[in-house]
């Protein structure tokens, strides 16, 4: 077996991305400018008619802006899953709102709509579903609940580009906003970056202003429009959340490859499914017939009858030169969140059980067939 180290994930950067970054650097406009604008336009066009895309320097920033634009503040409650990354709930805390965690559907790792329904109070303002691994949540149930209780939905789609729900791309459903991540390991990347998309022009306008210090106009317009001037007005206490043109240069080309990359990820996931179907594992939930899973992650669950537990499995894989990860350490187990809301580990039993058994094995498009064969051989060897 090769002793070469296989990382958990690597970005898939081509010569087109490199050339565009070099051009951006040579052109002298390195911060938010024409390439960021083009990336937004291309992204909106990818999703389809009526969508507005606001480029930001992280998905965390995009979710913060969306909640801010929806008026979330002290006294409000935001419902999300405990089975996510800390970025999802933390944005509510930035605004002084409270987080209400709910448990997951153990089959999909996605938040359970019945648990969401039970968690709604008169203070609830927003529901934040997270499409874990790139498998869309039960959005029909969540959007119906939101409509019935007059709540907004902000989707954490950090894993879900591109993915479809009942034939519609994630980002085009009837949520108030959907936020994608272009972090280094995500399905498409800009190094660090994100995109907030919405059908609501007012919400888009507020997010555009707040991502740039609460200016009344875009920095790009300020320097390039015929009416360019030194004058601007600060109309709100905004943030510094704009995406640079260097990052957007990468994004423009990543976006063009998004379907090809998704296709490759799906083929790799199918190869794993076939290889592991007789092992003591629970395979990741697939998409419903006709829909697309983004396959950002390949989350395996080791069953109780597996010869080794999850932690030992990860150690042994590491010894074989293969890096694995865990998605996720539930929010309610982390000291900050546990301390704030006095959670007990057993408060969310489905998430706790999933966490204890879950291991994400490498799935990224730079992996060769041989790399994948090596992972399959290692997993099969450890679990047979």
Ligand X SMILES: *Cc1c(COP(=O)(O)O)cnc(C)c1O
Interface positions with ligand X (CB under 6 A): 58-60, 84-85, 87-88, 130, 156, 158-159, 181, 183, 194
Q: Tell me the closest approach of the beta carbon of residue 264 to ligand X, in angstroms.
A: 20
Contacts 24+ apart (CB under 8 A), 307-311: 307/280, 307/382, 307/383, 307/384, 308/382, 308/383, 310/356, 310/357, 310/358, 310/359
Q: Tell me the closest approach of the beta carbon of residue 81 to ligand X, in angstroms.
A: 9
Closer residue to ligand X (CB): 172 or 185: 185
Closer residue to ligand X (CB): 85 or 355: 85
Q: Tell me the closest approach of the beta carbon of residue 278 to ligand X, in angstroms.
A: 30
Closer residue to ligand X (CB): 133 or 320: 133
CA torsion sign for 65, 70, 72, 77 is negative
Q: State the Cα–Cα distance between residues 162 and 169, nearest whole angstrom.
A: 7
Q: Which tokens in the block code for residue 358?
A: 């879950």
Query: Taking Cα atoms as reference points, which of 182, 216, 144, 187 lies closest to residue 53?
Result: 182
Query: Taking Cα atoms as reference points, which of 117, 119, 70, 116 lies closest to residue 97?
Result: 70
Write down the H helix ranges in the chain: 15-27, 34-47, 59-69, 87-94, 113-119, 139-149, 201-210, 219-224, 245-256, 258-276, 310-319, 335-341, 349-357, 369-383
Closer residue to ligand X (CB): 106 or 191: 191
Closer residue to ligand X (CB): 55 or 367: 55
Closer residue to ligand X (CB): 142 or 383: 142
Q: Tell me the closest approach of the beta carbon of residue 368 to ligand X, in angstroms.
A: 25
Give the residue numbers annotated as catalytic, written as ranges: 186
Determine phi and psi for 355, rounding to 5 degrees.
-60, -45
Helix (H, G, I), strand (E, B) or coil at 79: strand
Q: State the Cα–Cα distance between residues 283 and 271, nearest whole angstrom.
A: 12
Closer residue to ligand X (CB): 35 or 64: 64
DSSP conformation letters of 97-113: PEEEEE-B-TTT-SBPH
In a 13 Å sphere around the CA of 359, the CA atoms on its Cβ side amount to: 24
Q: State the Cα–Cα distance between residues 121 and 142, nearest whole angstrom.
A: 15
Q: Tell me the closest approach of the beta carbon of residue 225 to ligand X, in angstroms.
A: 30
Length of the chain in residues, anyone? 384
Q: Tell me the closest approach of the beta carbon of residue 224 to ligand X, in angstroms.
A: 27
Number of helices (H), then strands (E), in the chain: 14, 12
Q: State the Cα–Cα distance between residues 223 and 354, nearest whole angstrom.
A: 51
Q: Tell me the closest approach of the beta carbon of residue 331 to ligand X, in angstroms.
A: 11
């Amino acid at each position: 077996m090769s002793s070469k180290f296989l990382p958990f994930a690597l970005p898939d950067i081509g010569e087109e991305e490199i050339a565009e970054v070099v051009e951006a650097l040579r052109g002298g406009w390195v911060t938010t400018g024409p390439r960021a604008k083009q990336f937004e336009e291309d992204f909106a066009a990818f999703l389809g008619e009526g969508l507005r895309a606001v480029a930001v320097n992280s998905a965390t920033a995009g979710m913060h802006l969306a909640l801010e634009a929806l008026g979330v503040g002290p006294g409000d409650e935001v419902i999300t899953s405990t089975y996510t990354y800390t970025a999802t709930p933390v944005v509510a805390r930035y605004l002084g709102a409270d987080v209400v965690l709910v448990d997951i559907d153990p089959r999909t790792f996605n938040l359970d709509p019945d648990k969401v329904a039970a968690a709604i109070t008169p203070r609830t303002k927003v529901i934040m579903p997270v499409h874990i691994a790139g498998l869309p949540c039960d959005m029909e149930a969540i959007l119906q609940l939101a409509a019935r209780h007059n709540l907004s939905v902000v989707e954490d789609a950090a894993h879900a580009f591109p993915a479809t729900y009942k034939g519609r791309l994630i980002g085009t459903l009837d949520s108030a906003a959907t936020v994608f991540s272009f972090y280094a390991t995500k399905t498409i990347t800009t190094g660090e970056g994100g995109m907030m998309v919405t059908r609501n022009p007012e919400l888009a306008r507020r997010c555009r202003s707040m991502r740039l210090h609460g200016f009344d106009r875009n920095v790009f317009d300020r320097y390039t429009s015929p009416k360019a001037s030194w004058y601007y007005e600060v109309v709100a206490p905004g943030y510094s959340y704009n995406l640079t043109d260097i990052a957007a240069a990468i994004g423009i080309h990543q976006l063009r490859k998004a379907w090809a990359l998704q296709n490759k990820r799906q083929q790799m996931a199918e190869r794993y499914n076939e290889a592991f179907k007789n092992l003591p594992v629970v395979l990741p939930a697939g998409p419903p017939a006709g829909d697309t899973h983004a396959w950002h992650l390949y989350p395996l669950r080791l069953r109780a009858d597996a010869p080794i537990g999850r932690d030992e499995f990860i150690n042994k894989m590491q010894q074989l030169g293969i890096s694995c990860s865990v998605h996720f350490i539930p929010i309610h187990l982390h000291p900050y969140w546990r301390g704030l809301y006095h959670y007990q580990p057993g408060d969310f039993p489905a998430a706790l059980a999933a966490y204890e058994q879950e291991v994400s094995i490498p799935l990224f498009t730079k992996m060769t067939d041989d790399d994948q064969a090596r992972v399959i051989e290692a997993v099969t060897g450890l679990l047979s």
